[in-house]
């Protein structure tokens, strides 16, 4: 027995081989992806907030959905806006089928609203007019002969049994030289969506002068009025209504005050305002050419009515009559048209297809017509009566127009057409 060996009370110890330990390797990629994604989202949010602030600052009373659509268009998201608007008009804001209008075709009550009996008494001509009319009439019993135009024949309704006053021209607004310078007619645009009127404003161009006011944002170029009708002209304003599409969507050009802001395009629908206050609607290069007496040329798409015929054809004419909604969408739409005698008509109403718009223009006698801006808020037409002191009282051409009845009197981002009296007025 070897006494040098250690004594053990248990079984001999088994020494296991050392385990191989693998170091856990750190992968930074997921964290980097999270950080990058968060940074992109934060940057996008900051950019969106910063750029939207500019749009919001020039809101001018526009509702939230209009502000968002404007911001998206300002930031190269126009095609997405177009898709969203198509969905909106197809599935959300859909018109009723059948039924009768909830508003009256009789304009009398709307036209007289806000006038006191004393306002209907004769008064001196507004100061804005005194520079262009004689200071005195030679004799109180002499009535000067004033050239004027007559409104067109009544518009035939597509509905078999029209409502009272439907399609009939009714005098509205302040009188010029004692004569009505404007008439309004309301008529259904089709025989399916019979709950809605298209409201049509007729303007006697022999009693009025036209004026084009650029907006402080659109269509760019010279902006002498900051988008507002000069206040000294308020006592003689008779009507104003929206201009055309954003210039980038117009498929045409624009000229104002001696500056070619964007080259004019032959063949495109054009509305020309001359320095003497006359106005013409037609096709550029065929009916209209550049001359020294032109103040403004606004182009927008193709003529929707040409030589008295609707130019809305097949359902495939998607972007011809609206860069954001196709021709079948029943949306707020507007147009300016000219009759053979030179008088002007304007339509601005909801639930109009391009076809319904064109047919109503033709029914009112338009020989040429150009579409104007469209969709809620951007379609807006107004006419005016005046109190004895010259204060204009605004009337909406269509009662369902969004807020902002006098928007074209104040600084505004979009362009407008204005019509002023060219002779003494009376309420």
**pLDDT tens digit string along 98-114?**
999 999 999 999 999 88
- Within 8 A by CB and 6+ apart from 194, the residues are 98, 99, 100, 101, 159, 188
b (16+ CB within 10 A) / e for 177-205: bebbbbbbbbbbbbeebbebbbbbbbbbb
Tell which wins on pLDDT, 225 or 29: 225
pLDDT band at 329 (very low <50, low <70, confident <90, very high): confident
**Range in 2-11, 132-141, 214-223, 351-360 the model is least confident about:** 132-141
pTM over 0.75, yes/no: yes
Pair 381, 348: CB distance under 8 Å:
yes
Give the per-residue pLDDT at 119: 72
pLDDT score, position 143? 41
CB 233 within 8 A of CB 386: no
CA-to-CA distance for 91 and 189, rounded, in angstroms?
A: 21
Q: 21: helix, coil or strand? A: coil
The number of helices, as runs of H, and strands, as runs of E, in the chain is: 6, 19
- Count other Cβ atoms within 10 Å, centred on residue 74: 15
Find, among 366, 244, 376, the residue nearest to 304 by Cα.
Answer: 366
Quote the CA–CA distance of 264 and 241 in Å, as a whole number: 23
Distances (CA, A) of 146 to 181, 255, 307, 423: 12, 33, 29, 9
Mean pLDDT value of segment 332-356: 96
81 or 202: which leads in pLDDT: 202
Q: Give the per-residue pLDDT at 325.
A: 55
pLDDT at 41: 67
Q: Which backbone phi and psi does 191 adopt, to 5 degrees? A: -100, 20
37 versus 272: the higher-pLDDT residue is: 272
CB atoms within 10 A of CB 302: 18
In angstroms, what CA-CA distances link 233 with 17, 186, 236?
Answer: 103, 29, 6
Q: Which two tokens stand for residue 84?
A: 């969203």
Distance CA 360, CA 349 (A): 11
Lowest mean pLDDT among 119-128, 229-238, 343-352, 366-375: 119-128
pLDDT of res. 140 = 35
- Which range has highest mean pLDDT (7-11, 274-278, 313-317)? 274-278
Domains in the chain: boundaries = 29-92, 108-426
**What's the residue count for the chain?**
427
Contact between 184 and 107 (Cβ < 8 Å): yes
Of 229, 239, 138, 129, nearest to 181 by C-alpha is 239
Contacts of 14 (CB under 8 A, 6+ apart): none
On the question of pLDDT at 68 being above 50, the answer is: yes
Radius of gyration over every alpha carbon of the chain, rounded to an integer in angstroms = 32
- Supply the pLDDT for residue 250: 93
What local confidence, expressed as pLDDT, does residue 398 receive? 95
Q: Mean pLDDT in the chain?
A: 83
Residue 57 has a pLDDT of: 60
**Is residue 187 over pLDDT 90?**
yes
Residues 6+ apart with CB under 8 A from 290: 255, 264, 297
Mean pLDDT of 117-142: 48
Residue 425 pLDDT: 87
Task: Tell whether the torsion through CA atoms of 222, 336, 278 and 271 is positive or negative.
Answer: positive
Query: Across the beta sheet with 331-338, what order do the strands follow?
Result: 309-310, 303-306, 368-371, 331-338, 344-352, 198-203, 179-187, 170-176, 425-426
In Å, how far are 122, 138, 193, 424 from 141, measured between CA atoms?
15, 9, 52, 17
Q: Phi and psi at residue 361, in whole multiples of 5°?
A: -60, -45
Structure-model confidence comparison of residues 23 and 238, the more confident one: 238
The predicted structure's pLDDT at residue 81: 56
Q: H-type helices in 248-403, by residue range?
A: 354-363
CB 241 within 8 A of CB 254: no
Which tokens belong to 108?
A: 């009398």
Nearest-CA neighbor of 217 among 61, 348, 60?
60
Contact predicate 201/170, CB 8 Å: no
């Amino acid at each position: 027995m070897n006494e040098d060996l250690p004594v053990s009370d248990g079984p001999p110890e088994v020494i296991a081989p050392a385990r191989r330990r693998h170091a856990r390797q750190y992968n930074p990629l997921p964290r980097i992806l999270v950080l990058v994604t968060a940074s992109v989202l934060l940057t996008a949010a900051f950019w969106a907030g910063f750029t939207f602030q500019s749009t919001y600052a020039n809101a001018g009373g526009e509702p939230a959905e209009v502000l968002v659509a404007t911001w998206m268009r300002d930031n190269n998201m126009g095609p997405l806006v177009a898709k969203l608007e198509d969905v909106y008009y197809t599935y959300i804001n859909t018109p009723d089928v059948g039924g009768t209008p909830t508003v009256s075709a009789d304009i009398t009550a709307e036209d007289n609203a806000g006038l006191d009996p004393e306002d209907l008494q004769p008064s001196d001509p507004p100061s804005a007019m005194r520079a262009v009319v004689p200071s005195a009439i030679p004799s109180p019993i002499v009535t000067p002969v004033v050239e004027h135009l007559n409104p067109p024949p009544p518009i035939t309704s597509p509905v078999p049994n029209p409502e009272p006053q439907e399609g009939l021209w009714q005098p509205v607004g302040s009188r010029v030289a004692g004569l009505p310078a404007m008439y309004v007619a309301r008529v259904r645009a089709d025989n399916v969506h019979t709950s809605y009127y298209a409201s049509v404003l007729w303007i006697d161009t022999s009693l009025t002068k036209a004026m084009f006011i650029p907006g402080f944002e659109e269509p760019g170029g010279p902006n002498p009025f900051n988008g507002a009708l000069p206040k000294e002209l308020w006592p003689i304003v008779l009507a104003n209504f929206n201009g055309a599409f954003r210039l980038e969507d117009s498929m045409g050009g624009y000229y104002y005050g001696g500056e070619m802001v964007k080259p004019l395009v032959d063949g495109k629908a054009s509305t020309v305002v001359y320095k003497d206050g006359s106005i013409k609607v037609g096709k550029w290069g065929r009916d209209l050419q550049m001359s020294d007496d032109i103040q403004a040329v606004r182009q927008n798409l193709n003529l929707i009515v040409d030589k008295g015929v609707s130019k809305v054809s097949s359902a495939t004419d998607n972007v011809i009559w609206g860069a954001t909604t196709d021709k079948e969408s029943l949306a707020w739409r507007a147009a300016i048209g000219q009759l053979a005698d030179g008088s002007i008509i304007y339509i601005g109403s909801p639930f109009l297809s391009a076809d319904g718009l064109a047919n109503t223009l033709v029914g009112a006698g338009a020989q040429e017509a150009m579409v104007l801006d469209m969709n809620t808020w951007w379609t807006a037409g107004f006419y005016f009566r005046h109190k004895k002191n010259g204060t204009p009282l605004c009337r909406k051409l269509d009662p369902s127009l969004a807020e902002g009845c006098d928007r074209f009197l104040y600084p505004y981002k979009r362009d407008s057409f204005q019509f002023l009296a060219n002779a003494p007025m009376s309420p």
